[in-house]
Structure 1
Amino acid sequence: MIRLKRNNFVLIITSLLLTSCFREDEVVVPQKPGDVETVVIEMLPDYTIQTWFSFEHGIVSSGNRDSWDLAIETQEGNYTLWLNTSLFMYAAHTGVADFSVPLQTAGMEWKFDASDGSETGNAIGKWWTADGSGFRENGEVILIDRGIDGEGMPRGYLKIQPRIDPQSGAVSIRIARPDGADERVLDFPRDPARRFSTLSFDNGAPDPQTEPPAGRWDLLFTTYTTLLFTNTGEPYPYLVNGVLLNDTLVMAALDTLKPFAEIDRDYAETLWLSHQRDIIGYEWKQINGDVTSGDITYTAQSDWTYLVRNREGLFYKMRFIDFYNNQGKKGYPTFEFQRL
């Protein structure tokens, strides 16, 4: 994809629907349904806050969405790098291995990470190889568009070159401006307790890490980049506000047929659940008004119910009932949930 203007992208993402079953030996003893609980998530009107939520423990962690730039997979043998698409970030392959070569950002093929979480939609792609001696990087320099800040202003461009230490397997990122200025190297920790480990181009690896351990959360409330379509069917990327799954441990499905109050565990077990990261996504709120002018309001789709099977194999049902707080300010997703 050649990006001429920020609002005139044409990008085709091939989405891979990730579905699977829990292990056969995972037997969850049915429990008496829990009470219906109501939760308000504080994203703020400018959507600057990301929040990790657990059905069992409530809000686990929250932080500013610009506190990190890159995330890395922590599974053994997987070094996939993910952009912070809550900031509208993009990556472009250069085909250049010499980090000292000045690079231009114009005319590059810019891509963002697919919101479904599929590795086929990963913008940076597989930057490492494996052989009998272990893992090593391919050496390509990658351009990064750091996206926009909370006020919609560009955060600038960088070039990066990921590296793997051949002895320890530790990952580091060589970073500079496209012209080579401000070169530095940052270590990129990979905490196996987490789904991802994160890194800030400005401040290095946060301590503690931005994302909580994988076994402690189910849903992430955040902005993220996804593909929308005009009335004529033309695709374009857009920042949306929604919910992403802990997609290696949690599964979910949408039901628009049965009333929330009538959904029980037996019914939930008949549904096809998915690990797709954006299966809950952003469409639980309806947009009212003119998007182009910005004069819009949101209405929660309270007749939509999401069924979620969490990290412990427990079923929950949830529905969104508002996107505003008691003062009428947007950015406060409100939902009801109940353990089945």
Structure 2
Amino acid sequence: MKKSIFIVSAVALFMASCSSDDDSTTGGETALLPVDEAVVAPFVGGANEPNQVFVDLSSAQETSIQRDSWDLGFYSGSEFRVILNGSIKMAVKQLNTTDITEVQEEDASVSVGYTTLADLGYVDNPTGILTGVGNGEGTAIAEVSDNDEENKVYLVNLGYEVGTTTPEAGSVALDGEARGWKKIRITKQGNDYVLQYADLDATTAQSVTISKNANYNFVFVSLTNGQTVNVEPESDKWDLNFTGFTNYYPYGTSQITYYFSDFITTNIHGGTQVYEVVVSDATQTETAYADFALEDVEDADFWVSITDQRVIGSNWRNGGGPSSGPSIKDDRFYVVKDTDGNIYKLRLLALTNDNGVRGYPVFEYELL
């Protein structure tokens, strides 16, 4: 299903922006009512899918950031964990040294693709769960230790710039030029992170201190200049992320690293939860969606999404092939509990624009 005009319900916007006699107040501020219905077209940006787009359902607001504008995310929770920018195919390998001044060499095996087994531990576990013992569990970079001797140097494949070529309609071209390599080492200083980074042949390193910010899931940093970058909204102000994504994919008895376009993750660290409803007869999906009410919600079905950000993932669409174009899977919709505990039903409406160009998703949702 495609629509050429996308609007947010005027009633919903009025309710979200205006107070009423029934609104509750906290600390003298009016508690805004959530948007009750909207159709949203996240600005992913076309077949190069240049943007990551974060959507807050309660306000129907979106925040976009160019995918290659950041490299590392430093966790603001109790643990000292660091994530990679999987939207540009970053990968890392732990080296057997703590001396960042040692000259290093590129290693082509440290990459995302068919030849890279997940259990090598070169990328973050795609569930979004940060804890783990490595080898594909938890973050690719080990938890930063109080013991500096345990904080090793990492070889960093910076992945790819956003692509600029124009593919055929229905295809994507997310990868641009290779961004090169860095070496990094991360230690602690009180409740702060200390990041050292350098080119592989450098015998000195630059250093930057990163402080946690409790309002956000992560503090993001660019290795281009060592500066922090605004990426995600505050942890309670977004629910869905439209993005390119480094995933695991079954390969025989193992798993490989595999990159997906048109991917949707949920705000697992902020508390967003979701489950999928599949209708046995696809011709009845529209009716099933229209009839779905709050009393139909199954709380137990949210449990998977508490430990996996990929419940929507790529499950909402068909990628297409030699004899078929990309398309929406029209036999399903989703039930989403946002960071405020509001529950919505949500249905994807479009993957492409009217000319068949990918990177133009559209979805509708309604407060239950």
Please tell me the TM-score bracket, short chain as reference.
0.7 to 0.9
The residue that corresponds to 2:13 in the other structure is none
Amino acid at match of 1:224: F
User: For residues 231 and 127 of structure 1, what CA distance do their matches in structure 2 show?
Assistant: 30
The residue that corresponds to 2:336 in the other structure is 308
1:82–1:122 CA contact under 8 A, matched in 2: no
1:137–1:162 CA contact under 8 A, matched in 2: no
Q: Tell me if 1:122 matches 2:138.
A: yes
For residues 30-179 of structure 1, the aligned pairs below 5 Å read 36-44=37-45, 45-76=47-78, 78-106=79-107, 111-119=122-130, 120=132, 121-130=137-146, 138-151=150-163, 152=175, 153-165=177-189, 168-179=190-201
1:254–1:305 CA contact under 8 A, matched in 2: yes
The residue that corresponds to 2:274 in the other structure is 252
Amino acid at match of 1:196: F
Q: Tell me if 1:281 matches 2:313.
A: yes
Amino acid at match of 1:118: I
Deviation at 1:129, TM superposition (A): 2.8
Amino acid at match of 1:189: S
Q: Please, which of 277, 284, 297 is the counterpart of residue 268 of structure 1? A: 297
Deviation at 1:186, TM superposition (A): 2.4
Would the alpha carbon gap of residues 303 and 94 (structure 1) be closer, same or farther in structure 2, given more than 3 Å must change?
same
Would the alpha carbon gap of residues 71 and 232 (structure 1) be closer, same or farther in structure 2, given more than 3 Å must change?
closer
Amino acid at match of 1:284: W
Give CA-to-partner distance per residue, 1:215-269, whole Å, 9 cap, x none.
1111111111112346998744223321111103111111103721222111113
User: For residues 334 and 192 of structure 2, what CA distance do their matches in structure 1 show?
Assistant: 39
Number of aligned residues: 297
TM-score by length of 1: 0.79
User: For residues 256 and 85 of structure 1, what CA distance do their matches in structure 2 show?
Assistant: 29
Moved more, 36-45 or 84-93: 36-45
Amino acid at match of 1:162: I
- Aligned-residue sequence identity (percent) comes to 22
User: For residues 66 and 216 of structure 1, what CA distance do their matches in structure 2 show?
Assistant: 22
Amino acid at match of 2:76: T
Extract unaligned runs of 5+ from structure 1: 1-31
2:238–2:267 CA contact under 8 A, matched in 1: yes
Deviation at 1:288, TM superposition (A): 1.7
User: For residues 34 and 71 of structure 1, what CA distance do their matches in structure 2 show?
Assistant: 30
1:137–1:163 CA contact under 8 A, matched in 2: no
User: For residues 312 and 226 of structure 1, what CA distance do their matches in structure 2 show?
Assistant: 28
User: For residues 324 and 209 of structure 2, what CA distance do their matches in structure 1 show?
Assistant: 43
2:39–2:363 CA contact under 8 A, matched in 1: yes
Moved more, 182-191 or 82-91: 182-191
Deviation at 1:203, TM superposition (A): 2.8
Deviation at 1:191, TM superposition (A): 1.2
Alignment RMSD, CA only? 2.6
Between Structure 1 and Structure 2, the one with more helix by share is 2
Would the alpha carbon gap of residues 280 and 182 (structure 1) be closer, same or farther in structure 2, given more than 3 Å must change?
farther
Amino acid at match of 1:308: V
Would the alpha carbon gap of residues 123 and 154 (structure 1) be closer, same or farther in structure 2, given more than 3 Å must change?
farther
Deviation at 1:284, TM superposition (A): 0.5
Deviation at 1:201, TM superposition (A): 0.4
User: For residues 202 and 345 of structure 2, what CA distance do their matches in structure 1 show?
Assistant: 51
The residue that corresponds to 1:27 in the other structure is none
The residue that corresponds to 1:19 in the other structure is none
Amino acid at match of 2:180: G
2:102–2:203 CA contact under 8 A, matched in 1: no
User: For residues 335 and 328 of structure 1, what CA distance do their matches in structure 2 show?
Assistant: 17
User: For residues 181 and 110 of structure 1, what CA distance do their matches in structure 2 show?
Assistant: 27
TM-score by length of 2: 0.74
Extract unaligned runs of 5+ from structure 2: 1-32, 111-119, 164-174, 280-284
User: For residues 73 and 118 of structure 1, what CA distance do their matches in structure 2 show?
Assistant: 12
Would the alpha carbon gap of residues 218 and 234 (structure 1) be closer, same or farther in structure 2, given more than 3 Å must change?
closer
User: For residues 317 and 285 of structure 1, what CA distance do their matches in structure 2 show?
Assistant: 17
Q: Please, which of 235, 258, 273 is the counterpart of residue 237 of structure 1? A: 258
SS of the aligned residue for 2:365 comes to strand
The residue that corresponds to 1:322 in the other structure is 350
